[in-house]
Amino acid sequence: MPATSEQTGSSFRWLAMPKLAYPGKFEDINKEHKSILRNMDFFDGFRMDFNKSASPALTVSHLISMGGSGQEPANYMFIPTYSNKGTLMYARIQTDGHQMGFFKQAVTENLDFSITAEASPEPDGSQAKVDVDYRGPSSHTQLKWSNPSVYAFSYHQSITEKFSAGADWGYDHQQAMSQLSFGARYATDRWIMTGVGTLGVLSVAYTHLLNDKVAVCTDYNLQLTQNGWESMWSMGYQYNMRKSALRGQIDSNARIVAMLEEALSMNTALLLCGELDHRKKVYRFGVGLKFSV
């Protein structure tokens, strides 16, 4: 007796898997952790930022910094940024000799490429890099090339609604060396746990969103060196208030860092930051102003 349509639909019901979310790039597998512990825009001495929108697509920024430690000379940075219809371009031109240019173009809704060029007065400090990214419904594929002869390939795939995993392979033709890294991510509405490992290196991170304003995170890094295994842990927090944002961290090397951004008016913000490194006996403080027109 032939199967009815109802029986057939029941037999293949296991194929109706829930739609998997886009996981992001493999290099951003622990982006929440990096935003708190790694991407803190710390500065020493005095800094002033001035941002102006010249047009809907063009923004011009000026940054003046003067190092308070006496070891860093005063520096001026000019940053023009253009963004319009799948095209992004910006440059960083500094008086200390470091220059950088970035260009990104979307070819289709899922495919784009970017070119980065850097010039530096230091020997072998200049470099160029080309990235090609393909964004799938539930995956991300990336190809990289950087001079003189470094190639890389990464892939990040959502496996369930909350779990994703990926890998990154890099090859340095000049050094005749290759490296393979693996990573995994498990994310819920309130917490994210990630792990990334390669030969002799393991990094595990945990981020918890206490509420809409407060997030805390911690990480643990284990590395094999010539002297044996070395480990390091750090813990950080981020508190977003109505007119200010506070971020800080502490690690196992007795280093404490904190940064506060307070809105003084609609177009002006005050920046305060400090670093206490008890092991190295380094103490740095910074004060800055940010203007946007």
pTM, entire model: 0.85
H-helix or E-strand spanning residue 35: helix 31-37
Q: What percent of the chain has pLDDT over 70?
A: 92
Mean pLDDT computed over every residue of the chain: 90
Name the architecture of domain 22-292. Beta Barrel (2.40)
Residue 53 has pLDDT above 90, yes or no: yes
Amino acid at 33: H
Q: For residue range 109-148, what is the model confidence (pLDDT) as tens digits? A: 999 999 999 999 888 888 999 999 999 999 999 999 998 8
Amino acid at 270: L
For 102, what's the count of Cα atoms within 13 Å in the CB-facing half-sphere? 13
Q: For residue range 181-200, what is the model confidence (pLDDT) as tens digits? A: 999 999 999 999 999 999 99
pLDDT at 125: 80
Cα–Cα dist 264/290, whole Å = 10
Q: For residue range 8-50, what is the model confidence (pLDDT) as tens digits? A: 444 544 444 568 999 999 999 999 988 888 777 888 899 999 9
pLDDT at 135: 96
Average pLDDT of span 204-221? 95
pLDDT at 133: 97
Structure letter (DSSP) for residue 43: -
> Residue 251 — pLDDT band, cuts 50, 70, 90?
very high
Helix (H, G, I), strand (E, B) or coil at 91: strand
Residue recorded with tokens 């060029």: 117
Q: Which residues contact 29 (CB under 8 A, 6 or more apart)?
A: 23, 156, 164, 166, 183, 184, 185, 194, 196
Residue 10 backbone phi and psi in degrees, to 5: -70, -35
Q: For residue range 57-85, what is the model confidence (pLDDT) as tens digits? A: 999 999 999 876 656 678 999 999 999 99
